[in-house]
Amino acid sequence: MIRRTLPCLAALALAACAVPPPKSMPEAPAAVLAPDAPLPAPIRDPAVARAEFVRSTSQRFGIPAADIEAVLAKAQIREPIVKAMSRPAEAKPWRDYRPIFIQPSRIDGGRAFLEANRAALQRAEDAYGVPKEIVTAIIGVETSYGGNKGSWPVVDALYTLAFAYPRSGDPARVAYEDRREAFFRDELAQLFALGKEEGIDIATLKGSYAGAMGWGQFMPSSYRQYAVDGDGDGKRDLFNDLDDVIASVANYFAQKGQWQRGGPVMQRAVRDASAADFANPGNAVTLDRTLPMLAALGYRPAAAPLADAAAPATLITLEGVAGPEDWIVFNNFKAITSYNISRLYATAVFQLAEAIAGRSPDPA
Ligand SMILES: [Ca+2]
């Protein structure tokens, strides 16, 4: 989860912004969202910043400062994480992104996951309105159905990015890098709170290099805010309890993404020969059009419209194998970008879900 309008990877998520994706992983960890609240001004001296972190985290969450100090005393700055975060983001076109996710092993893995967890997925769909295949696809894109949940100590990952966030030296990027560092510092604080609230020894947790955790790759703040106890055992365990994982991903979509039950995600558009280009770059999705407005501009659904004339929508263009692809996107597309603000990510999740369901991922 991230949100940003920076020129990252055609717009990827924050956390992963500067990181080229491993072959089987999305560019951005799922739960890396920037906090909605304004972040504090940066403290430049790491020792001062760390002391202030201990003080403020202790006060904010009622955790003894000595307990925080004890964890930080064992935390390590991990150079590979600094390096990974320093790497310039690479803008990958859809034609190169798609094959990472829309391929037989991930589709088959999704069908197997769905069958193995059908009851929990159905309960989540009934409760939150998010289709089984969408929840499954998220878990497939994030961690290959739990196969790659990350092996970095979460404390180290967040400690590194909170106190040694890489600096490019480019004056134009200072404000962005400050925000990123403050974001990870807040996530580290949230991790301490999570440990206290859930009774978890945070020093044992493993996750992505950006601190995203579990089957759905939740950042600590998202874990605290959106994780739910799917099986009613009194714990929210996103590492080992698939009922919790499935319910939590669905709850995230319903709450954070404002997912609409039964609503469309996206639909291929056909373009009139005379239509002007629809300029809509970046990753943010602003649903400021409707189907009639798009039709007036020369873009119409390629098949029967999936939404009525009043439904908020917009048009995006992806660089496909056969050239530009125009897609009309709706509320539930925007909802997927609340998990990771990348249009490519959202498209991959949708198409993987369609493929898992046995529908053509791209009817055009
Ligand atoms: Ca549980």
How far is 204 from 199, CA to CA, in rounded Å?
Answer: 12
Which parts of 59-205 are beta strand (E)?
A: 152-153
Contact (Cβ atoms closer than 8 angstroms) between residue 160 and residue 81: yes
Tell me how far the alpha carbon of residue 361 lies from the centroid of ligand 1, in angstroms.
33
Which parts of the chain are beta strand (E)?
A: 152-153, 206-207, 266-271, 299-301, 314-320, 323-329
Which parts of 143-287 are beta strand (E)?
A: 152-153, 206-207, 266-271
pLDDT mean for each 10 residues of the chain (364 residues): 32 32 37 50 80 98 98 97 87 93 96 98 98 98 97 98 94 94 97 97 97 98 98 96 98 98 97 94 94 98 96 97 96 97 96 96 63
Tell me how far the alpha carbon of residue 231 lies from the centroid of ligand 1, in angstroms.
5
The DSSP 8-state label assigned to residue 127 in this structure reads H
How far is 282 from 286, CA to CA, in rounded Å?
Answer: 11
Fold of the 1-226+342-364 domain? Helicase, Ruva Protein; domain 3 (1.10.8)
What interhelical angle do 132-143 and 343-356 show, nearest 10? Answer: 120
Indicate which residue of 142, 177, 181, 187 is catalytic.
142
- β-strand pairing of 323-329 with 314-320: antiparallel
What totals of helices (H) and strands (E) does the chain contain, helices first?
Answer: 14, 6
Listed in order, the ranges of the chain carrying CATH 1.10.8.350 are 1-226+342-364
How many other β-carbons are positioned within 10 Å of the β-carbon of residue 176? 17
Closest CA to 306 of 294, 323, 298: 294
Tell me how far the alpha carbon of residue 252 lies from the centroid of ligand 1, in angstroms.
16
pLDDT, residue 142, reads 98
How far is 275 from 269, CA to CA, in rounded Å?
Answer: 12
pTM check: above 0.85 = yes
pLDDT, residue 364, reads 53
- Could you give the 3-state DSSP secondary structure of residue 205? coil
Map tokens 């100590």 to a residue. 153
Tell me how far the alpha carbon of residue 323 lies from the centroid of ligand 1, in angstroms.
46
Whether residue 125 lies in the annotated active site: no
Tell me how far the alpha carbon of residue 326 lies from the centroid of ligand 1, in angstroms.
42
Q: Name the token pair of 172.
A: 């134009």
Tell me how far the alpha carbon of residue 12 lies from the centroid of ligand 1, in angstroms.
31
What are the CB-based long-range contacts (under 8 Å, 24+) for 163-167? 163/46, 163/49, 163/50, 163/53, 163/77, 164/46, 164/77, 164/82, 165/82, 165/85, 166/18, 166/82, 166/83, 166/85, 166/86
How far is 30 from 2, CA to CA, in rounded Å?
Answer: 8
Contact (Cβ atoms closer than 8 angstroms) between residue 264 and residue 330: yes
pLDDT, residue 17, reads 32
Tell me how far the alpha carbon of residue 58 lies from the centroid of ligand 1, in angstroms.
27
Contact (Cβ atoms closer than 8 angstroms) between residue 142 and residue 26: yes
Contact (Cβ atoms closer than 8 angstroms) between residue 289 and residue 300: no
Tell me how far the alpha carbon of residue 149 lies from the centroid of ligand 1, in angstroms.
18
pLDDT, residue 54, reads 98
Type of residue found at 211: G
Tell me how far the alpha carbon of residue 30 lies from the centroid of ligand 1, in angstroms.
20
